[in-house]
Structures are given as C-alpha cells and as structure tokens.
Amino acid sequence: MGIAGELLKKEIRVRIMRKALIILISGLLMAFGAVAQENGNRLVIGGYGEVALSRHFYSDNVYRYSHPDNYKNDKSHGRFDIPHAVIYLGYDFGKGWTMQSEIEFEHTGAGSAVEKEYTEAGEWETEIEKGGEVELEQFWIQKSFARALNVRMGHFVVPVGGLNNAHEPLSFFTVYRPEGEYTILPSTWHDTGISLWGEAGKWRYEAQVIAGLDAFMFDRDNFVGNGAGSPYEFKVANNYGFVARIDNESVRNLRLSLSGYYGNSMHNSFPNDMRDTRYGELKGATAIGAFDFAYKSDHLIVRGNADYGYVGDAATISTVKRNLTSNSAPYKKTPVGQNAMAVGLEAGYDIFRLFNAGAGDKVFLFGRYDWYDSYIPASGQQEYEYTARHVATVGLNWLPLPQIAVKAEYSHRFFKSQFNNEPSVSIGIAYMGFFNR
C-alpha cells in the first residue's frame, strides 16, 4: 500500500478512537446522571476547565537565551490554548467506602506514545499524532474510619506546595498556573500509592507513600518538574517517595501549610540497567520542602508560597544522562542543578465592593510576583544565568458567579541585563464546580 496509505489508515484509526472516546464519556455521564437522580448525593459529578488566549511580545526562538542579541527585535507571537479540561466522578458506596476518579484533557487531547521495540534491535520508537495529554489524574478508593483517620489507595494528587494542593483555576488569579511552582515541581503532581489523612480540630494532616521520582527526567529548565511522569504504560517504582503535609486554620480565614517530599531518584527508570555499572550505588537523594498560605475573606484574598528543592549527586547524574543514555531514549539530556527555589505572592481585592456594584458579581484587582530559579548548580557545574527569573503580573478577575471567572492580565518576565525581558498579555475564562449539587 505504501507509506501514504499506511499513514492514511493510521489517521483514520486515530479519528475513530477519538470519536469513540467522546461517545463513551458522554454515555457514562448520562448514565451516571440517571444514577445520581436515584441515589441523591451518593454520586458526585463535577469538573473544571480553562481557556487561555495570549500574545507574547518577545521571540519564541529556542536560541533566544544563548544568543539574545540576535532575537531582541523579533516579532510578537500568539498562542490559544485549553490548558486543562477535567471531569470528576465520585461515589459513596456506604459504610465509609468512597471512590473518586478524575479524567483530565490537557491542551485538547493527546496522540503520542514512546515504546522500546525489542523486535527492532531495542530501538526507541516515538509516534505523535497530536500534542496534549489525556490522563487519569485521580482514581482511588478510600475507607474512612473516623474524621481523623482515612486510608486511600490508588492514584491521587501529591499535595507538595501550594499549587499542587489547590490547582483548580479558581484557586489562583493568573490566567495560567503560577509560574514558579509550575516550573520546578510536577504539576499537577499525581501518583499511585497509599495515603493516610485526617482532620482534628483546626488541623489536617496527610502522609503518602508513592512511586519515587525519576532522575533521568530531571533537567535544567524544570528541575524535578518532569520526574513524576512516565513515558510507559506503567510507572517505574524501584524506589519509593515519602510525602507529608500539615495544614492549620486556627486563625480565622487563614490557612498555614507545610509540605515535603523525600526519596531516591536514581535507578528509577526502565530498563534498570545501571545497577550493574560503576554508578550502581548512586542514589540521587531528592528532597523538597514547601511552605504555603492562603488568606480569604469576602473581599480580600492573599496567597503565597516558598519552595526549596535539593538533588544529591546532581553533577554525576547530569554526566550519566548526557553520556550513558541512548539519544532516542525518552529521557532529558540537559543537566539538573543541585538546587531550585521558587517564591510567589499574590493579592486581590474586590473593587466592586467600593461602589456597591453588581448583583453578587465580584471583580478582583490583583497583583502577583514570582521569583524562581530552576537550576542552581553544584560546585563545578556549568552556569545558566537565564534560569533565574522574576515575574510581575497585574490584572482583573471578574466572577459573575462563584463557579466562573473571566481573567485578564499583563505579565512581565525579567532576566539579568544580558537577556531580553518577556512581556505578554493574556485573557481567559474558567469554571469549577459540581453539576449535581
């Protein structure tokens, strides 16, 4: 049939699969809706989604940091996107047993996979039909023994940092997710394991055991941000990660939180060939600590975060990734720094309150500041000064209803003087809510 014929057949199969997926999800929602009417509040259906339109007044050339003078007069470029569209499905079986699932479409879908073809001399093979992702972001079953003791097993959100704890689009003012934490940490960080959590008075705690991060997915531009992902049909768990979070709400309208992660990240990739090499004892201990807070009254919202990350053996891991992994392997080749940091603060005030305007509408005038560095090198590692960034954002959020936000902002990313700053404007609309409540 030839290459053209094979490509046509593949495209037809992809289109059929996409339509079948849409029909299946629609049918499930209709069926679950009928069940919800019969079972009251035992079934929960909800979700969130966001649309973003941006214009960037800087170059999008991949060499704009290595040769900034060549690109300082480049034309602006625009991007339209649907960053996230999510469907929640939850059910209360009774006697303390519940389940929740979350299907997420990122950037309107996906059509990509990476495989190691053993029938073709072990070559890595990548097929891309369309960008984006379709993920089962959550799927867990929980037994609740008491308010202070709940056990959850399955795939769930890892609440390290403020953004992972509250990643829905009405939980931040900016059109896109806050840049600092989104860059250096997995976001939304979700993984498979066991979680123990509970509430007592003004305190909430959570402890998790999950699959460990993969050092071969760490890199210069995102630190450990890609380390929770897996290009395979399974998640490698040669090493385990340990997560803890504690929240306190003793002060009215204020939540204070500490969270962290620890685990070894080397030898957590596939195939696990390097245990038999001279790097077999390399651990790549990875630690993350985070503080975040949120103050929320009727007309004033203030949120902030501070995150610090550490990767042991960073210089050696960078050498191993560069020299010992196949060029076609689905791993990151750029070096990983020993540390990364992110600090963010945003505040918004409902200006409609000043004029007694609107029938329940709110318009928040907000400002946000982020500083982050995704690559702080160990001694002897190469410097990349453009990884340290300051971002200032101002804008408006109009909430015509509590579940809907229309957003507009101006953002300016600042670098050291030898680089070009990066201003942009964005508008967006987002919703978040439950459909059967």
pLDDT tens-digit readout, 402-411:
999 999 999 9
- Candidate ranges 58-72, 112-126, 197-211; pick with highest mean pLDDT: 197-211
As a whole number, mean pLDDT of residues 39-50 equals 85
pLDDT at 358 over 70: no
Regarding beta strands 123-128 and 285-296, do their DSSP bridges make them parallel or antiparallel, or are they unpaired? unpaired
Residues 55 and 75 sit within 8 Å (Cβ to Cβ): no
Among 26-30, 188-192, 404-408, which stretch is predicted with the lowest mean pLDDT?
A: 26-30
Q: List phi, psi (to 5°) of 315.
A: -65, -45
2-206+245-262+286-315+336-434 belongs to which CATH class?
A: mainly beta
Question: Per residue in 230-286, pLDDT tens?
Answer: 877 888 899 999 999 999 999 999 999 999 999 999 988 887 766 667 777 889 999
Tell me the DSSP string of 344-401. EEEEEEETHHHHT-SSS-EEEEEEEEEEEEEEEPPTTSPP-GGGEEEEEEEEEEEEEE
Residue 212 buriedness (CB in 10 A; 0-12 / 13-18 / 19+) = buried
| pLDDT value at residue 171 | 96
pLDDT at 302 over 60: yes
pLDDT at 114 over 80: no
Q: Which residue has the higher pLDDT, 255 or 124?
A: 255
| pLDDT value at residue 278 | 77
| pLDDT value at residue 401 | 94
As a whole number, mean pLDDT of residues 98-118 equals 76
Q: Which residue has the higher pLDDT, 37 or 91?
A: 91
Q: Which residue has the higher pLDDT, 117 or 418?
A: 418
Residue spans of the domains in the chain: they are: 2-206+245-262+286-315+336-434
pLDDT at 38 over 70: no
pLDDT at 4 over 50: no
pLDDT at 109 over 90: no
As a whole number, mean pLDDT of residues 172-184 equals 97
